[in-house]
Amino acid sequence: MGRPASGKESIEAARRLFKSARTADELRLAQAVLLPLEMGLSLEQTAKIIGRSRGVTCSMRTRFAQISGGARPVPRSKRALRNRAKADLEREKQVLDEVLATAVTGGIVVIPQIKPEVESKLGKTMALSTLYRMLARHGWRKLAPDTEHPQGDPAAREAWKKNS
């Protein structure tokens, strides 16, 4: 016979989570704590009911006890900030509105030239590809291809062309 389930100090937190669970994972977590304590089920029986392995169920119970006891921080929501994002979507939109104010009226945007300004406003460095993805995420798109380099000399270009 296995040892009795521990975690009676976190049973109230598990009951609250059971009542307010918004996802299947939150419900499984509450069940992993409550079923052995209130129903007297073994870890194997609990694992079978919630559809997880015995080891995962044990880890879930341990993690919940640590979080409810204050020994471990509450994990942050994945919805709050995209994974490895430089800023949240509202902040990105605000920065792009500030930086691209001239482009709204028909001005030309050259991404490598606005990159340092965006980096300074966000306070983080970023790759050009990140900036291109940020622009695409907020509905900016390339309307016309670049026909000439912005620092080029049009007179020198005309002089260089062959006369036929």
CA-closest candidate to residue 24, choices 3, 64, 52, 2:
52
Average pLDDT over residues 10-37: 88
Q: Which of 80 and 127 is assigned the larger pLDDT?
A: 127
pLDDT greater than 70 at residue 80: no
Q: Which residue has the higher pLDDT, 1 or 56?
A: 56
Q: What is the pLDDT of residue 161?
A: 81
Cβ contact 126:112 at 8 Å = no
Is residue 96 a contact partner of residue 134, using CB atoms and an 8 Å limit? yes
Task: Please write down the long-range contacts of 79-82, taking CB distance under 8 Å and 24 or more positions apart.
Answer: none
pTM equals 0.46
Query: If pLDDT is split at 50, 70 and 90, which confidence band does 119 have?
Result: very high
pLDDT above 90 for 146:
no
> What digits encode the pLDDT tens for the residues 42-53?
889 999 999 999
110 versus 75: which is more confidently predicted?
Answer: 110
Domains for the chain: give ranges and CATH numbers.
Answer: 8-69 (1.10.10), 89-137 (no CATH)
Report CA-CA distances (Å) from 111 to 91, 107, 122, 136: 19, 13, 16, 12
Whole-Å CA distances, 150 to 65, 141, 147: 61, 19, 9
